Amino acid sequence: MKILLLSDIHANFPALDAVARQVRQRHRIDIICNCGDSTVYAPFPNETIGWLRKQNAISILGNTDKKVLLLAKGRAFRKPRKQEKRIMYTWTLQELKKKNLRYLQRLHEKNIFSIKGVEIGLFHGSPDDPDEFLFPDTLNQRFTKLARNARQDIICCGHSHTPFHKEIHGVHFVNPGSVGRMFDGNPAASYAVLEIQKQRIKVSHYRVGWKYKKMKKALQRNNLPDIYIAMYKQGLKLN
């Protein structure tokens, strides 16, 4: 059983498409799981959600997705405060097709399921807090506490845009990194493949380049803030 694990696509469909193409060449995937933040900060929300729908991906909401849903309800949010960020939320909601907005509205903050006797939990930040950032160098005491409280064998998360795999007290913590917005100076998309075979769990992380020119043209065509052109080119969080 092989699972393609994605997170933090952020509407970067050129990167998602590059991931899909590489995966088709290298793996036979049984299930696709997505740990949220599928929308906002890139100009391809409909293509991204359309792909997730077509692939029957098991998806959850991330913090950016939830703020889009707040706007759809006519409500506001305080953070982020920077105008160059806020415009990406309002633009996304304006662009989203009704069927894709309905798709987001059906998602939850977490999804827990079993495969071959192994229980898997999808969370955006952590099982305790959808906005918690977990990194490879997060204190082991924190992972230990999460592991002791966990009912899952595998905890898949995103939000920190940082790939890692840790086994703590028999619980596997996996972050595939960000498909759409890596912050480590390498703009290549990040994803992971989770393999379950006879209770044995294997995690492999991958990176793949994508068509930056398509992103640049789309940002310019839609008059979106120039800072994102630089951000996607450099693979850095500049705001």
45-102 residue pLDDT tens: 999 999 999 999 999 999 999 999 999 999 988 889 999 999 999 999 999 999 999 9
Structural domain tally of the chain?
Answer: 1
163 is a domain residue: no
Radius of gyration of the chain (CA): 17
| Largest separation between any pair of C-alpha atoms in the chain | 51
Report the run of H or E that residue 83 belongs to, with start and end: helix 83-95
Identify whether the C-beta of residue 7 lies closer than 8 Å to the C-beta of residue 176.
Answer: yes
- Establish if 44 belongs to a structural domain: yes
Domain, as residue range, for 26: 2-115+174-234
Measured in whole angstroms, the distance separating CA 93 from the mean position of its chain's CA atoms is 18
Kindly state whether residue 142 falls inside one of the protein's structural domains. no
The answer to whether position 26 is within a domain reads: yes
Whether residue 149 lies inside any domain: the answer is no
On the CB side of 90, CA atoms within 13 Å amount to 13
User: 27, 92 in Cβ contact below 8 A?
Assistant: no
- Asked whether residue 83 is domain-assigned, the answer is yes
% of residues, the chain, pLDDT over 90: 95
In a domain, 98, yes or no: yes
Does residue 90 lie in a domain region?
A: yes
Which segments of the chain does DSSP mark as H helices, in order?
Answer: 13-26, 45-54, 63-72, 83-95, 98-106, 140-149, 212-221, 227-234
Mean pLDDT of the chain: 97
Q: Give the CATH number, domain containing residue 62.
A: 3.60.21.10
Model confidence, pTM: 0.96
